[in-house]
């Protein structure tokens, strides 16, 4: 594989890893607070539809983004109400919301645009455009680093850079702020938080809503940056890959970023089987690359790749003991 | 402001959980700068009362005065503001946080963590020095011993500038050395003018550390006395109350051959703490060995190890053949096949499946019994129902409806279902834990009679109960457990409540012939 | 919380949940500018008003019975098997291998072998997550989700690289030989008096019903079922009774996987007669809704499967004859799972308050 091809693959990796990263960090907030969320997929889908629709109607990608976040937040709120207020089964709630999103998005897109459940193709301002970073042109002539900067680092939409910023910010929030300390505590031992005089429900709702916002960004990116519009089931399991990445990264933000980049890299390779074959000298089946994130996650869960221990209070509604 | 001599006054506190009245019209006054003990049996309502004071539960009625000022404590935050700190029996610590993070949680100094942590680190150093509370601020809780975890809980309270410190059964999880250290700390705190409330059911601790002691029984406050003017005997009497000793007609035991022989039985819990520290005992056919002791001194572990529920080490033989204590052969099924029946201490978590019907519960543990099978494939539910109906009649279970879910029976009738199931298995050895806990008088009498009948039929019975009266009226021999060991064994006729009470408190009896 | 009478618990709670779900579905139809009454008319017309509609409704219901039973069996041991989809895919592989590579003299033998093979493949796919749960504590929900995707990839690979006949473009196996053709309901004597036109519902329906009976017998009339239910209700109590947790988890998940796998007999062998990439088409997930709706009782599962068969076929009719997209059926599934599963407590609280109010009034009057 020559350098140019490598850069192409890495460029695609970044684009494909972005929605994973946003969704993964989204899930991190919720699960760190002790609320399991297998509904990342649904929230992304809802956001993608809302973003695609509003961007198509207003011609503004930014308004689309706002709508995407709004759509995702509604789903997050329902999940919060079922699992925090009504102490329902968080897994079942997630499954239900994924179904709801899969159906409702097509229904609404169809009723708004009548184009078979997709939103109209977006162009111009309705889509997030690539940003050329400073000096990308001038540095191009510098060997190795120049093309890397120009091809891989520069030339992405603002949401790609936002995703990395979110990772950094999340690390800071989680480990350097009061909110982060409380968030981590409530997912491990809500009774400790409760006896310290802090509202368990308040913290958990906060976390679930942040999950909603970030899934909103992930979905909006899918519809208004990675692709030009919403299409039926366009997230194609990315919510579950993000979940897998979260587990693989043992619920830590920076590790989550690397995992998502790795899983994004697999996706990029799955699009370029020719490259893989050239490198390893034999034909690697594309489905194997597609399945790799899941296989790795199962291995991690089984403790073969370092033990993945979820937050201790995860999945359990908090009830004061008698 | 400090007009009152009392740090805390509770007036007319009542609290019910559904039909259970946990606290009834409680009054108590705790003078400032003293160590005040609250003593009572399990379920007497001590923890509930203190949880109300800490704002964890809300009282149904009553008033709380802090330093003479009526104070509403609707939540823990208000309690903390009022200067109250609490060390729960089950620590409220985040296991994978450092000591420092746990101390800071909920008492942060602004939205950024660094400033809070730096400030806490400094005061932690000061507090540690002042009160012999040294712990490494950067250690993870999960790496600390139980004793050190408790110090973190105390530090948490002190960091929040608590003037009143409540400790709920603080020594239940501590070794004697750790407990001694804790009491030194508490005396240090008292010397600094702090008020301390110590909840316990251990008489010895009360006598050694407290200035005053309040006794609770069945949700009510029985009385408050100055510790120096009281005695363990008096407190024990107040605690248990003078119940009518249930007279049980029984002939002298006719002990036969040794049925159960236990040598050096040891059990470690999941945290690696040794809960049973080398117990040895023997039971003969046709006798009841009663195990007396304050709850939590290893009785549960003894029962569960003998019942095959937990792993143990040592040597146990039943009629001469060894019972497995380890590995897959050590389970409830193999025990039942060997001839061990088991009325567990906790019928809700172990003895019954509350969602199952009465007849399903009658097969619980005995689902492999040939008499409940129609053929190789199917169970004979009809036979099981008929057997249940018969058992319900024999044991007077009300209502006598085999198809009713276990959760819909009263506590006494639930227990009768368990007892009927286990007593009728014709076992060689019967393990019986708290057979009459939460059971009404009539049922108690009935169960006691059945136990004696089993003894007279030549069964070996191991009876564990926290009710000393029950032990006294049923047992032929009595062993007292304290801190995972047997303090001593007495013939029933050769001992009395007073001697056993002192042994239960771990005061005398140690090292005597078992 | 107010304790509900048994009849309310068994019948009223699901009924109220279902009513809530359908009410919201109707509001959604209104919101997209369509007529809910028209929708329900079209659905009823296309599903239960003639034999042809029944032929489809029963065909889908058959699949949902299998996956619903699969989820139901696992639920009784407190295991949430969310991997029915993957297990059904693998079951399809099992069916295809048996049908394609063994020359069968008669469909009945092929049916027997295909059923066993489908069950075995589904069981293996469930056994791995079960082992990881029992021995390594890996959360079964997450592993079964992962196994759904791994199954999809595996099938895609096999279809493209090994099972696809030379010269065919779409990723599917060759057509199964005629000898493996299963009798549809219109081929079965007596039954064909009603089903006069060719319908997809086939003899597998009777296997599904048989399995429902078998599951009922297993759970409530055998020692194993007794232990499964006891373990699911209370693990500490199971320990007291000497029930081996590892054994129960393994057995229950193997049974669950086998049931999910057997679904493939219906759609792969009975209908498509070749193996396609997404043969399970969501039935694995619908099994969750079916089990929840059916209160984890085989009879309830059969009824709920019929309801979902009706929704599935009715949804298709909506897509054909109205402006409401076929995806409406996914929305309804989601709503049913939400209300019968996740918001169970809410419905009970609601009913509890109502019952308490009635009781208070009755006492006031007395």
Q: Which chains touch C (3 or more CB pairs under 8 A)?
A: A, B
Residue from the list A100, A288, A297 with its beta carbon closest to the beta carbon of C153: A288
pLDDT at A314: 85
Pairing mode, if any, of strands B195-200 and B212-217?
unpaired
Residue from the list A178, A189, A194 with its beta carbon closest to the beta carbon of B94: A189
Residue A143, C-beta contacts closer than 8 angstroms, at least 6 positions apart: none
Residue from the list B344, B353, B368 with its beta carbon closest to the beta carbon of C230: B353
Choose which CATH entry (1.10.3470, 1.20.272, 1.10.10, 3.30.160) describes domain C60-348: 1.10.3470
Q: How many helices (H) and strands (E) does chain C have?
A: 15, 0
Residues of A in contact with B92 (CB under 8 A): 189, 191-192, 194-196
* Min Cα separation A322/chain B (Å): 8
Pairwise CA distance, residues C36 & C27, whole Å = 8
Chain A interface with B: residues with Cβ < 8 Å? 175-182, 184-185, 188-189, 191-198, 312, 320, 322
Counting the structural domains of chain A, the total is: 1
* Min Cα separation A33/chain B (Å): 13
Q: Which of B353, B381, B382, B385 to mutate to test the interface with C (most CBs of C within 10 A)?
A: B353
The per-residue pLDDT for range C183-192, each reduced to its tens digit, is: 999 999 998 8
Pairing mode, if any, of strands B35-40 and B195-200?
parallel
Least confident of A121-130, B34-43, C326-335: B34-43
Averaged pLDDT score across all residues of chain B = 88
Give CA separation, B378 vs B371, C90, C231, in Å: 12, 31, 19
Range list of H helices, C102-173: 107-136, 140-158
Interchain proximity B351–C240, CB inside 8 Å? yes
Interchain proximity B333–C234, CB inside 8 Å? no
Q: For chain C, how are helix, strand and coil distributed in percent, rounded to 5? A: 75, 0, 20
Q: Which of B45, B100, B113 to mutate to test the interface with A (most CBs of A within 10 A)?
A: B113
**Which pLDDT band holds residue B3 (cuts at 50, 70, 90)?**
low
Give CA separation, B227 vs B183, B223, B233, B236, C176, in Å: 16, 12, 12, 13, 90
Least confident of A47-51, A116-120, A192-196, A315-319: A315-319
Query: Of all helices (H) and strands (E), which one includes residue B280?
Result: strand B274-284
Interchain proximity B106–A197, CB inside 8 Å? yes
DSSP string, B388-407: HHHHHHHTT-SS--TTSBGG
The per-residue pLDDT for range B111-124, each reduced to its tens digit, is: 999 999 999 999 99
pLDDT at B511: 45
Output the CATH code of domain B258-349+427-504: 3.40.50.300
Interchain proximity A104–C331, CB inside 8 Å? yes
pLDDT at B247: 63
**Residue A124: CB atoms within 10 Å:** 9
Domain ranges of chain C: 60-348
Pairwise CA distance, residues A33 & A210, whole Å = 11
Q: Do domains B6-240 and B258-349+427-504 have the same CATH topology?
A: yes
Question: What are B117's two structure tokens?
Answer: 């942590």
Chain B nearest-CA residue for C1: B18
pLDDT at B356: 94
Which range of residues forms the domain containing residue A34?
3-127+146-301
Residues of B in contact with C233 (CB under 8 A): 353-356
Interchain proximity A192–B94, CB inside 8 Å? yes
pLDDT at A322: 47
**Which pLDDT band holds residue C213 (cuts at 50, 70, 90)?**
very high
pLDDT at A134: 86
Domain ranges of chain B: 6-240, 258-349+427-504
pLDDT at A296: 87
Q: Which chains touch B (3 or more CB pairs under 8 A)?
A: A, C
pLDDT at B441: 66
| Peptide bond connecting C107 to the previous residue in cis, omega within 30 degrees of 0 | no
Residue from the list B57, B76, B116 with its beta carbon closest to the beta carbon of A196: B76
pLDDT at B342: 96
Kindly report whether the global pTM for this prediction surpasses the value 0.80.
yes
Question: What are B282's two structure tokens?
Answer: 């023997």
Least confident of A294-298, B420-424, C5-9: C5-9
**Which pLDDT band holds residue B270 (cuts at 50, 70, 90)?**
confident
Query: Is A321 a member of any domain?
Result: no
Q: Check whether B437 has a pLDDT greater than 80.
A: no
Pairing mode, if any, of strands B195-200 and B164-168?
parallel
Residue from the list C32, C157, C341 with its beta carbon closest to the beta carbon of A89: C341
How many Cβ contacts (< 8 angstroms) between chains B and C? 65
The per-residue pLDDT for range A287-308, each reduced to its tens digit, is: 898 898 899 888 888 877 666 6
Residue C51, C-beta contacts closer than 8 angstroms, at least 6 positions apart: C194, C195, C196, C197, C199
User: For chain B, what percent of residues have pLDDT higher than 90?
Assistant: 62
Identify whether the C-beta of residue A8 lies closer than 8 Å to the C-beta of residue A151: yes
Pairwise CA distance, residues C272 & C283, whole Å = 15
Give the ipTM.
0.91
CA angle, residues B132, B135, B138, in degrees to nearest 5:
155
Mean pLDDT of the region B423-432: 93
Interchain proximity C132–A287, CB inside 8 Å? no
Range list of H helices, A149-233: 158-176, 178-188, 190-195, 200-221
The per-residue pLDDT for range B83-113, each reduced to its tens digit, is: 999 998 889 999 999 999 999 999 998 899 9
Interchain proximity A301–C288, CB inside 8 Å? no
Residue from the list B95, B104, B112 with its beta carbon closest to the beta carbon of A189: B95
Query: Is A118 a member of any domain?
Result: yes
Interchain proximity C233–B355, CB inside 8 Å? yes
Place of tokens 């300390």: A181
Question: What are B319's two structure tokens?
Answer: 């009629």
Pairwise CA distance, residues B331 & B329, whole Å = 6
Q: Which of C35, C281, C334, C347 to mutate to test the interface with A (most CBs of A within 10 A)?
A: C334
Q: Which chains touch A (3 or more CB pairs under 8 A)?
A: B, C
Q: Which of C75, C135, C136, C146 to mutate to test the interface with A (most CBs of A within 10 A)?
A: C146
Which CATH fold would you assign to the domain B6-240?
Answer: Rossmann fold (3.40.50)
Identify whether the C-beta of residue B54 lies closer than 8 Å to the C-beta of residue B84: yes
Query: Is A36 a member of any domain?
Result: yes
Residue from the list A179, A182, A192 with its beta carbon closest to the beta carbon of B92: A192
pLDDT at B306: 96
**Which pLDDT band holds residue B173 (cuts at 50, 70, 90)?**
low
Identify whether the C-beta of residue C144 lies closer than 8 Å to the C-beta of residue C132: no
The per-residue pLDDT for range C72-92, each reduced to its tens digit, is: 999 999 999 999 999 999 999
Residue from the list A96, A107, A243 with its beta carbon closest to the beta carbon of C342: A96
Pairwise CA distance, residues A234 & A28, whole Å = 22
CATH code for the domain in which residue A60 is found:
1.10.3470
Instruction: Tell me, letter by letter, the H, E, C secondary structure of A99-163.
Output: HHHHHHHHHHHHHHHCCCCCCCCCCHHHCCCCECCCCHHHHCCCCCHHHHHHHHHCCECHHHHHH
Averaged pLDDT score across all residues of chain A = 92
**Which pLDDT band holds residue A279 (cuts at 50, 70, 90)?**
confident
Q: Check whether B510 has a pLDDT greater than 60.
A: no
Distance of CA B216 to the CA centre of its chain: 16
Interchain proximity A196–B79, CB inside 8 Å? no
Pairwise CA distance, residues A251 & A246, whole Å = 5
Q: Check whether C114 has a pLDDT greater than 60.
A: yes
**Residue C119: CB atoms within 10 Å:** 25
Query: Is A319 a member of any domain?
Result: no
Least confident of B166-170, B292-296, C199-203: B292-296
pLDDT at B1: 45
The per-residue pLDDT for range B286-318, each reduced to its tens digit, is: 999 999 987 778 999 999 999 999 999 999 999
pLDDT at B203: 78
Q: Check whether B234 has a pLDDT greater than 60.
A: yes
**Residue A95: CB atoms within 10 Å:** 28
**Which pLDDT band holds residue A138 (cuts at 50, 70, 90)?**
confident
Identify whether the C-beta of residue A88 lies closer than 8 Å to the C-beta of residue A97: no
């Amino acid at each position: 594989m020559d350098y140019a091809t490598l850069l192409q693959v890495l460029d695609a990796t970044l684009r494909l890893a972005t929605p994973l990263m946003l969704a993964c960090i989204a899930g991190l907030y919720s699960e760190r607070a002790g609320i399991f969320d297998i509904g990342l997929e649904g929230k992304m889908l809802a956001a993608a539809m809302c973003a695609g629709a509003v961007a198509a109607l207003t011609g503004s990608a930014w308004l689309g983004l706002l709508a995407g976040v709004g759509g995702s937040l509604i789903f997050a709120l329902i999940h919060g109400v079922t699992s925090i207020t009504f102490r329902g089964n968080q897994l079942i709630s997630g499954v239900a919301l994924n179904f709801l999103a899969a159906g409702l998005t097509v229904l609404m897109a169809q009723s708004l645009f009548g184009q078979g459940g997709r939103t109209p193709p977006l162009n111009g301002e309705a889509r997030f455009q690539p940003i050329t970073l400073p000096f990308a042109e001038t540095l191009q002539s510098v060997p190795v680093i120049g093309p890397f900067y120009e091809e891989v680092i520069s030339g992405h939409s603002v949401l790609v850079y936002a995703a990395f910023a979110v990772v950094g910010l999340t690390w800071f929030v989680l480990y350097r702020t009061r909110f982060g300390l409380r968030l981590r505590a409530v997912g491990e031992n809500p009774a400790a938080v409760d006896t310290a005089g802090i509202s368990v429900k308040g913290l958990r709702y906060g976390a679930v809503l942040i999950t909603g916002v970030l899934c909103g960004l992930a979905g909006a990116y899918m519809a208004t940056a990675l692709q030009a519009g919403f299409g039926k089931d366009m997230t194609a399991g990315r919510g579950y890959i993000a979940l897998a990445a979260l587990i693989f990264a043992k619920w830590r933000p920076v590790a989550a970023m690397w995992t998502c980049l790795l899983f994004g890299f697999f996706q990029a390779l799955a699009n370029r089987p020719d490259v893989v074959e050239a490198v390893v000298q034999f034909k690697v089946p594309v489905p194997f690359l597609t399945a790799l994130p899941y296989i790795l996650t199962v291995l991690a869960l089984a403790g073969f790749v370092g033990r993945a221990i979820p937050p201790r209070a995860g999945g359990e509604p908090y009830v004061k003991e008698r | 402001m400090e007009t009152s001599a009392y740090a805390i006054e509770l007036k007319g506190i009542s609290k019910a959980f559904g039909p259970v009245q946990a606290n009834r019209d409680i009054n108590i006054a705790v003078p400032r700068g003293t160590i005040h003990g609250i003593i009572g049996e399990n379920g007497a309502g001590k923890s509930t009362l203190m949880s109300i004071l800490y704002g964890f539960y809300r009282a149904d009625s009553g008033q709380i005065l802090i330093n003479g000022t009526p104070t509403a404590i609707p939540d823990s935050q208000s309690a903390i503001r009022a200067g109250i700190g609490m060390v729960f029996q089950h620590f409220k610590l985040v296991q994978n946080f450092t000591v420092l993070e746990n101390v800071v949680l909920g008492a942060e100094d602004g939205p950024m963590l660094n400033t809070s942590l730096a400030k806490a680190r400094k005061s932690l150093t000061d507090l540690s020095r002042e009160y012999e509370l040294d712990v490494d601020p950067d250690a993870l809780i999960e790496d600390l011993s139980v004793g050190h975890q408790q110090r973190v809980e105390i530090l948490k309270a002190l960091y929040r500038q608590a003037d009143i410190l409540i400790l709920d059964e603080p020594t239940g999880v501590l070794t004697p050395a750790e407990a001694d250290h804790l009491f030194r700390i508490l005396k240090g705190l008292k010397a600094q003018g702090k008020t301390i409330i110590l909840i316990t059911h251990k008489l010895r601790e009360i006598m050694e550390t407290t200035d005053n002691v309040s006794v609770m029984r069945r949700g009510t406050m029985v009385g408050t006395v100055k510790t120096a003017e009281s005695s363990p005997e008096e407190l024990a009497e107040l605690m248990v109350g003078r119940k009518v000793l249930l007279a049980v007609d029984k002939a002298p035991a006719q002990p036969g051959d040794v049925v159960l022989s236990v040598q050096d039985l040891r059990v470690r819990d999941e945290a690696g703490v040794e809960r049973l520290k080398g117990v040895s005992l023997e039971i003969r056919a046709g006798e009841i060995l009663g195990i007396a002791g304050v709850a939590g001194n290893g009785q549960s572990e003894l029962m569960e190890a003998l019942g095959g529920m937990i792993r143990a080490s040592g040597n146990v033989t039943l009629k001469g053949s060894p019972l497995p204590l380890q590995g897959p052969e050590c389970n409830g099924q193999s025990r039942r096949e060997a001839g061990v029946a088991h009325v567990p201490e906790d019928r809700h978590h172990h003895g019954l499946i509350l969602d199952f019907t009465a007849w399903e519960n009658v097969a619980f543990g005995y689902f492999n019994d040939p008499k409940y099978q129609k053929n190789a494939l199917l169970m004979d539910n009809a036979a099981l129902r008929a057997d249940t109906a018969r058992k319900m009649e024999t044991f007077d279970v009300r209502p006598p409806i085999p198809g009713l879910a276990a959760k819909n029976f009263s506590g006494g009738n639930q227990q009768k279902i368990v007892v009927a199931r286990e007593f009728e298995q014709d076992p060689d050895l019967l393990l019986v834990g708290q057979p009459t806990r939460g059971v009404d008088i009539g049922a108690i009498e009935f169960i006691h009679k059945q136990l004696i009948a089993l003894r007279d039929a030549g069964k070996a019975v191991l009876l564990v109960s926290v009710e000393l009266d029950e032990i006294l009226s049923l047992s032929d021999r009595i062993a007292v457990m304290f801190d995972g060991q047997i303090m001593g064994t007495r013939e029933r006729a050769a001992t009395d409540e007073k001697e056993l009470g002192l042994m239960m408190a771990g005061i005398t009896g140690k090292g005597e012939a078992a | 919380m107010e304790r509900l009478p048994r009849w309310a618990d068994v019948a009223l709670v699901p009924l109220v949940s279902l009513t809530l779900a359908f009410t919201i579905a109707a509001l959604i139809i209104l919101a997209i500018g369509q007529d809910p009454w028209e929708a329900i008319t079209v659905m009823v017309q296309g599903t239960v008003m003639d034999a042809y509609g029944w032929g489809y409704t029963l065909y889908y219901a058959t699949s949902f019975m299998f996956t619903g039973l699969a989820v139901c069996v696992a639920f009784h041991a407190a295991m949430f098997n969310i991997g029915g989809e993957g297990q059904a895919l693998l079951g399809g592989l099992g069916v295809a291998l048996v049908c394609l590579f063994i020359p069968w003299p008669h469909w009945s033998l092929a049916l027997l072998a295909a059923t066993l093979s489908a069950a075995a493949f589904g069981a293996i796919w469930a056994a791995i997550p079960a082992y990881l749960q029992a021995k390594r504590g890996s959360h079964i929900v997450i592993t079964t989700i992962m196994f759904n995707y791994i199954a999809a990839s595996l099938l895609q690979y096999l279809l493209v690289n090994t099972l696809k006949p030379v010269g065919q473009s779409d990723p599917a196996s060759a057509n199964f030989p005629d000898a493996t053709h299963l009798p549809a309901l219109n081929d079965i004597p007596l039954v064909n008096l009603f089903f006069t036109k060719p319908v997809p519902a086939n003899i597998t329906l009777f296997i599904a019903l048989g399995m429902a009976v078998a599951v009922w017998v297993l759970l409530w009339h055998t020692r194993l079922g007794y232990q499964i239910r006891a373990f699911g209700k209370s693990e500490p109590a199971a320990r007291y009774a000497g029930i081996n947790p590892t054994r129960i988890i393994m057995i229950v998940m193997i049974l669950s996987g086998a049931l999910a796998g057997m679904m493939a007999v219906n759609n792969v062998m009975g209908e498509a007669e070749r193996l396609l990439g997404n043969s399970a088409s969501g039935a694995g997930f619908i099994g969750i809704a079916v089990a929840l709706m059916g209160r984890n009782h085989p009879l309830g599962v059969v009824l709920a499967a019929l309801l979902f068969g009706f929704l599935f076929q009715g949804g298709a009719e909506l897509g054909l004859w109205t402006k409401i997209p076929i995806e409406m059926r996914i929305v309804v599934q989601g709503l049913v799972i939400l209300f019968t599963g996740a918001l169970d407590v809410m419905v009970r609280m609601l009913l509890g308050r109502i019952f308490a109010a009635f009781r208070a009034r009755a006492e006031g009057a007395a």
